[in-house]
Amino acid sequence: AETARRLNIRFVGHVPLDVGLERALRQGQASLDHVDGLIEALVREGSPVKPTESAFFGANLVAYVDESKLPRLVGLAKASGTWIVPTQTLFESMAGPDAPEAMTRWPEMRFWPSRTVAQWAQATATTRAQLGMTAEQGQRMNELRRRIMKALYQGGVPFLLGSDAPQWWNVPGFSIERELAAMVRAGFTPFQAFEMGTRNVARFFGAEEDFGTVAVGKRADLVLLDGNPLEDVTSWKHRAGVMVRGKWYDRDEIRRRLDELSR
């Protein structure tokens, strides 16, 4: 943190267990990936498992949290000016109900090396086994994460859209579709979810005059959809075309390029 301030750059990312959420916020961490550090900071006093003994982003701590601590932490996050990058799709795959073998058959896996996909499946099975995580326990973790995210957002803490691609099960591009849907499942409106990946990104980088919204004079980067995404977030999957740096790619061209990339 001291080096970042001296060089006038922002630092972002995880919250190390030996640092903790409050210290990271006091030091001015610009964004928290994965809602990192929140579950650990909610652990009640006298719990048999300490926050510093957290495993897989607090999966082993869910039963020991005290959610009455949350409003204070939200206030600290808001005052610090930090941003949240939830990467919720990572947790809905790793701690979700789908079996690893079933996830290897997700449509987008054809764009990823089969050896890597097999490694993801093995890593997921191993992680769940090491944690003793059942589908019910995974559901409780994700429900807690959703409550934390909603409290942060309602408390005025800004969000950025991110899936942690190319992390486990997160194929670049396709994983954003899953993240958008995960945000809606968490209680956000489609508009709020899309704003996290457009206008808010420009705000974070101080570049609202350049991109983030469709307007005259801004970058000619946009996606044209067949449906209304504000009514149905899955409309994102039905693209009429994409404009990148002023060049238009229709659905046929996109399909052709994707077919070339598939394994």
The pLDDT tens digits of the residues spanning 132-187 come to 999 999 999 999 999 999 999 999 999 999 999 999 999 999 999 999 999 999 99
Q: Of 156, 14, 139, 149, whose CA–CA distance to 86 is shortest?
A: 149
Query: Does the pLDDT of residue 263 top 90, yes or no?
Result: no
How do residues 184-222 score in pLDDT, each as one tens digit? 999 999 999 999 999 999 999 999 999 999 999 999 999
How do residues 226-249 score in pLDDT, each as one tens digit? 999 999 999 988 999 999 999 999
Is residue 56 within 8 A of residue 94, CB to CB? The reply is: yes
Say how far apart CA 239 and CA 11 lie, in whole Å. Answer: 35
This prediction's pTM: 0.94
Q: What secondary structure letter does DSSP report for 238?
A: -
Query: Helix, strand, or coil here: 241?
Result: strand
Say how far apart CA 150 and CA 142 lie, in whole Å. Answer: 12
Say how far apart CA 220 and CA 153 lie, in whole Å. Answer: 30
Beta bridge partners of 244: 247
Tokens of 44: 């009640």
Provide the residue ranges of all domains of the chain, joining segments of one domain with +: 2-212, 220-263
* End-to-end CA, the chain: 42
Q: Of 138, 231, 134, 233, whose CA–CA distance to 185 is shortest?
A: 233
Tokens of 169: 């099960």
pLDDT of residue 146: 98
Q: Of 74, 66, 70, whose CA–CA distance to 32 is shortest?
A: 74
Q: Of 14, 16, 21, whose CA–CA distance to 38 is shortest?
A: 21
